[in-house]
Amino acid sequence: MKKQKVNNKKSFAIFLRGGTGVGKTTIGKKLAEKISPSVFIEQDILRYMVVNGLVASRTGLQPGNYPGEYRKQCKLADKNTLDLVRNFTDEGFTVIVDGFNGGESGDTFYYLKNPEKKRWYPEKGLLKQKLPNVRVIQIVLDTEKETLIERLKSVKKWNKIVIDFILKQREIFLDTLDRNEVSLVIETCKMSPERICKRILKELK
């Protein structure tokens, strides 16, 4: 597929939303290759810029043992992501963002204790406020639970505690999903990454 130039008075930012293992990185990189000019932001990399004190499964510091610090690092990654999106779109780039809100629910532990307060994140109007001259498109990616579990089990560094946490994040994310705030919801196990990219590009037109 030829690279597609996105011509619009407003710049584009495409947020690929969804839990760990649904294919955001794979699809985001492929999508960035097909749009010119474009930038790909993998939000986990921004979180992992914290070296000493990073709360993430790869460090051995489990989020469940440090819920406050985990939430702080997730929110900081969101803030840095929005700053980068604004900087790149100001220069005319289309930005594809892989993930948001720390695996799609930095508030997982809080919501587990306070299920009545679960809500879609970001709150309505926040992205317009932070990115006033950017056309933001939120696309939710998901896959069947059984397929996701098999994908997560294939990652040797993730034990049952980590996998269960990821599944809880996914459940909370889908429970709070506001379809009025997203453009597409795509089951990644039902289409190839190439077909998914074509569908997203069609939405951009």
Q: 27 in helix, strand or coil? A: helix
pLDDT tens readout for residues 152-170: 999 887 889 889 989 999 9
Residue 155 lies in a domain: yes
pLDDT value of residue 181: 93
Is 5 contained in some domain?
A: no
Averaged pLDDT for residues 28-53: 94
Q: Please, are residues 148 and 155 in contact by the beta-carbon 8 Å criterion?
A: no
For the segment 91-122, what is each residue's pLDDT rounded down to a tens digit? 999 999 998 987 788 889 899 999 999 999 99
Scan for tokens 């998901």, then name that residue: 142
- What average pLDDT does the structure give for the chain? 90
What's the whole-model pTM score? 0.91
pLDDT at 2 > cutoff 80: no
Domain that holds residue 58: 10-204
* pLDDT over 60 at 5, yes or no: no
Q: For residue 27, what is the domain's CATH number?
A: 3.40.50.300
Question: How many domains does one find in the chain?
Answer: 1
End-to-end, the C-alpha distance of the chain in Å comes to 15
